[in-house]
Structure 1
Amino acid sequence: MKITVIGAGAIGGNLAVKLSAAGHDVQVTGARGHGSVPAEVLESGARAAEPADAVQGRDVIILATPFGVAGELADLFAAVPEGTVVIDTSNYYPHLNGQVEAVDNGEVESVWNARQLGRPVVKAWNAALAGTQRTRGLPAGTPGRIALPVAADSARARHVAMRLVDDTGFDPYDAGVLADSWRQQPNSPAYCTELTLDQLPAALAAADRVKDTAVRDSVPERLAALPAGFTLDDVVQMNRAAHR
């Protein structure tokens, strides 16, 4: 597929590298232009491009930008063909992104992002830590492979995103429509807890918007309580423990 990744930070860089390695034609751009793409991302075979060029003639565009940036990109997406699948990977943390009143009042993160962008989106890859994405992808069929939820209103777009999740080393799980993607938002039982395909459905079903919001807002304090030099496993176990 012809794929563009907008955002070349930890998540965008991971996806550009993984999807290039899987054989896709990948362009990557920083939200402010191709000059912000790290050299190591381009070593995978991905190509840097200016934003206006990177969104033309592509099958998929992946937004790997901080939550709240989508509205700044609405003009860029105005000329993107309707059939292009747009995937949102962002997560809302008020202490990092600033308060968004509509989301605080119950609007689902990616529903709000889609409204800001002016087009439908798929929610994918948001429920895995950058370290998990970078180091723990496995070939399809491997026992214990981590599963990631994918939500979208379009069955076609959801299917496309699920194929790409598989290509990055994770079992895709059909999490239904975008309005239900709150179940994979921070800090639900399915969020950054490295569950398998057998375990993920129950975790999504156990999501509780009030409790999960409180868990999300306690993340800075819980991270501060971890030992110095904490590991990826420490963070995963911290996330799991919040729901026991």
Structure 2
Amino acid sequence: MTTIGIIGAGHIGSQIARKAVELGYDVVISNSRGPETLSGLVAELGPKARATTAAEEAAAGDFAVVTVPLKNYKDIPAEPLAGKIVIDTNNYYWERDGHIPALDNGEATTSGLLQEHLPESKVAKGFNHIGAAQITTDGTPVGTENRRALATASDYPEAVELVTRLYDEFGFDAVNVGLLEESWRVERDRPAYGVRQNAQELKDNLAKAPRTI
């Protein structure tokens, strides 16, 4: 069975872990405080989950989900993630992360920054514009009318394919934004951010997104 490595055990990371275990994935999860602080979550998740350090998690996962505050993205271990697909859920909150001029000026994207930090990985945007609790509650079977849609973007087709498959397993349609340089369209404060939308509505919202806020 595929093992998902999750770096970050906050609201989003924990919810992705819960749904992944429900679907039969093995999960290896880490946080910045050490695996011993995740004993309660691991006990809840059951025998298909274990807690490790970030470096151990990165090495153990067949692919990884990075879900940490953006200000900490340079702490993600690069070497053990080389060659792997990395799903990036990060969002830019300058109130928390401090101002990043390249983002403020519309010259970069949050996932693009992570890709630069992980040059040998294949970064894809994912799960960044949905509330954490909704990850485990809003999914519906394929073909459901008005099924909720989520966006992804990557410079690597195989990464888009993986996120699309994972979205479908979680109960969501996928909309491909394009390359990472276009992933700003689903970042914070844009029309597609944080709202429930089907695939056509998501495409419409992506199209009308302003580059800078």
Structure with higher Rg: it is 1
Taking the aligned partners of 1:27 and 1:15, their CA distance within structure 2 comes to 11
Structure 2, gaps ≥5 residues long: none
- Determine which structure has greater relative contact order: mean sequence separation of CA pairs < 8 Å that are 6+ residues apart, divided by chain length: 2
CA contact (8 A) 1:121 1:152 kept: yes
CA contact (8 A) 2:15 2:133 kept: no
Backbone CA RMSD of aligned residues? 1.7
- The code of the aligned residue for 2:50 comes to R
Deviation at 1:122, TM superposition (A): 0.6
The within-5 A match list for 1:49-68 is 49-68=52-71
Taking the aligned partners of 2:145 and 2:40, their CA distance within structure 1 comes to 34
CA contact (8 A) 2:148 2:198 kept: yes
The within-5 A match list for 1:26-37 is 26-37=27-38
- The percentage of counterpart residues that share the same residue type is 34
Greater strand fraction, Structure 1 or Structure 2: 2
Taking the aligned partners of 2:57 and 2:173, their CA distance within structure 1 comes to 28
Taking the aligned partners of 2:134 and 2:201, their CA distance within structure 1 comes to 17
Q: Give 4+ residue runs of structure 1 displaced > 4 Å after superposition.
A: none
Deviation at 1:113, TM superposition (A): 2.2
Taking the aligned partners of 1:87 and 1:11, their CA distance within structure 2 comes to 12
Deviation at 1:44, TM superposition (A): 2.6
Correspondence for 1:164: 166
Taking the aligned partners of 1:41 and 1:170, their CA distance within structure 2 comes to 26
Q: For residue 112 of structure 1, give the secondary structure of its aligned residue in structure 2.
A: helix
- The code of the aligned residue for 2:140 comes to L
Bigger mean CA offset, 168-177 vs 36-45: 36-45
Structure 1, gaps ≥5 residues long: 214-244
- The code of the aligned residue for 2:78 comes to F
Deviations 1:102-157 (A, max 9, x none): 21122112112222344441101001111322322222222222100010010001
Correspondence for 1:10: 11
Taking the aligned partners of 1:37 and 1:8, their CA distance within structure 2 comes to 8
Bigger mean CA offset, 60-69 vs 50-59: 50-59
CA contact (8 A) 1:18 1:167 kept: no
TM normalised by structure 2 equals 0.90
Q: Does 1:205 align with 2:181?
A: no
Q: How many residues align?
A: 208
Residues 141 and 36 of structure 1: CA distance in aligned 2, closer, same or farther (over 3 Å): farther
Correspondence for 1:102: 102
Taking the aligned partners of 2:23 and 2:192, their CA distance within structure 1 comes to 26
Bigger mean CA offset, 115-124 vs 182-191: 115-124
